[in-house]
Structure 1
Amino acid sequence: MHQKTGLLAAVMILIFSPAVPAAQDVLRIGADLTNPPFQFRDKDGNPGGFEVDLTNAVCKAVNVKCRYVVNTFDAQIPALLARKVDVILPLGVTPKRKAAIGFSRYVFHLPTRLVARKASHLQPQVDSLKGKDIAVQQGSIQEIYAEKYWRPAGVTIKNYPDLEAIYEDLYAGRVDGALAPAVTVMYGFLHTPQGADFALTGPEVTDADLFSKGSAYGIRHDDSALTQLINQGLEAIIRNGRYAEITQHYFGAQDLSVKE
């Protein structure tokens, strides 16, 4: 899962200072690199993962270079609005986020599910979770949902800076479950030795006012030219088959399509 595609070495430069200005032929991409298999650091410390490979392909298609600016997930939108980055790697397109930033066309959809130990028989409903400790990632849609519906009903919500920290506490038994993107949990945790005793439980958690139809690149409202450029790149890699190749590499036949 941590193998680099041929595009990675060719077009990526990793930087750690968000204050570096973007040249005309360089896009500064906001990333947290703590969400395998979507984004992570490879064995050499370079950006890797599904979203990174897709972004490399998009940049190549429109003849620009992507330069990664690494920050925590909940700092991505503030960094975009402060013009420290030009684009954010795909995130859920929610009404609240749409009020703050613009988006590209949809890139993929990730359903939200509860993950817990198989023996716990927990379900994503308040009567099952009351008195339990449930982990969520700070700044995520899942955090907003859990804080709105579960905490007032007696569920203890624990907030984490990234999914890797959630996986550690799940395995250690410091939380009873986590609300997170299902595909991310499946490949980043359940398919590892530490996740062997855990499973996704219950149906997809949805809410029309909170959850998104899909994930897309985050771009400032006033940057219509960049939105058009990103969409052009996405359309190009869909047409030439690169999008399908990258998806197959990471997820096989898993359906990540956005239902319009």
Structure 2
Amino acid sequence: MALIHICVMLALMFSVDTVAAGDSPRREIRFGVAAQFPPFQSRNPQGQLVGLNIELGNALCEQLNVRCTWVDQVIVEDFRALESRHLDAIMGMAPTSKRRRWASFTDNLYPFTTRLVARKTSGLLPNVQSLEGKRVGVLLGSNRATFVLAKWAPRGVVIKCFWLNDDLVRSLVAGEIDATLQGTVEIREALLDKPEGKEFDFLGPAVSAALLGDGVAIAVRKPDIALRDALNRALEQLIRNGEYQRIIKPYRLDAPVAMP
């Protein structure tokens, strides 16, 4: 009889642990986002979050039938907030080898290409031989900043980090920096598609490196495989039903995401 009581108690304890582990259906996804990278994520004049990553995140939540809560972060790589469960996921991050040490990533939401932008007449190319002694601007906290500080700065390239892309572009146009390393989509919107950008262009080939990555994904806690897989399934469904294509079309991405 005592053995039966012990077995019953162990079964009750196991059931409590199972509930505590979070087997109940998810009702909300708290996305961390740094709202300073238009056209991917920023705030409009009314203070509302807008951009490609915001639209995709909301569509994924709708597909999963959960509430989408956006937490505006100061920095992109806020893995502490992710680990402490202040966030469930970080939206719009390149899954580089360095970042994979801290988080698990979904499939890529879309690709991106990194290019050097400078005056057409400058003759600059995206390598240290051409850029030695030149001033290259990057966005603080971006994967491009990580790359140039590790690979170019030690070899004589002068790196200037900017908090906002608007400030970076103003410095480039004013001649305070010689070039910028950026993703093609944001620099088109910030400069190349505007009248003041007519003297500037992409120079040289695209820059590829493990520190840069080649796409944008969603970071989740490493143990949270269920959330990662659910987001991947929702992305596949958005692609199949055409909602994904409708969302990304205005943003002129470099290449489509392949059908899963």
Secondary structure of 2:172's counterpart equals helix
Alpha-carbon separation, structure 1, partners of 2:144 and 2:170: 18
Alpha-carbon separation, structure 2, partners of 1:43 and 1:234: 29
- Structure 2 gap segments, 5+ residues each: 1-24
Residue of structure 2 equivalent to 1:142: 144
Residue of structure 1 equivalent to 2:244: 243
Residue of structure 2 equivalent to 1:16: none
Instruction: Report the CA distance between 1:172 and its aligned residue.
Output: 2.7
Alpha-carbon separation, structure 2, partners of 1:77 and 1:198: 36
Secondary structure of 1:183's counterpart equals helix
Distance 1:76 1:198, change over 3 A: farther
Q: Tell me the TM-score normalized by structure 2.
A: 0.83
Residue of structure 2 equivalent to 1:212: 213
User: Quick check: 145-154 or 216-225, which moved more?
Assistant: 145-154
Alpha-carbon separation, structure 2, partners of 1:111 and 1:138: 18
Alpha-carbon separation, structure 2, partners of 1:133 and 1:67: 39
Q: What CA deviation, in whole Å up to 9, does each residue of 1:200-232 have, x standing for no partner?
A: 11101112x323242210111011121122112
Equivalent residue runs for 1:2-151 within 5 Å: 24-151=26-153
Instruction: Report the CA distance between 1:198 and its aligned residue.
Output: 1.6
- Structure 1 gap segments, 5+ residues each: 1-22
- 1:230 maps to 2:243: no
Secondary structure of 1:255's counterpart equals coil
Secondary structure of 1:166's counterpart equals helix
Alpha-carbon separation, structure 1, partners of 2:258 and 2:135: 31
**8 A Cα contact 2:28 2:68, kept in partner:** yes
Instruction: Report the CA distance between 1:258 and its aligned residue.
Output: 6.5
Alpha-carbon separation, structure 1, partners of 2:258 and 2:81: 27
Distance 1:165 1:68, change over 3 A: farther
Q: Percent identity?
A: 34
Larger of the two Rg values belongs to structure = 2
User: Quick check: 128-137 or 73-82, which moved more?
Assistant: 73-82
Paired residues, number: 236
Distance 1:249 1:182, change over 3 A: closer
Alpha-carbon separation, structure 2, partners of 1:112 and 1:64: 34
Residue of structure 2 equivalent to 1:8: none
Instruction: Report the CA distance between 1:32 and its aligned residue.
Output: 1.4
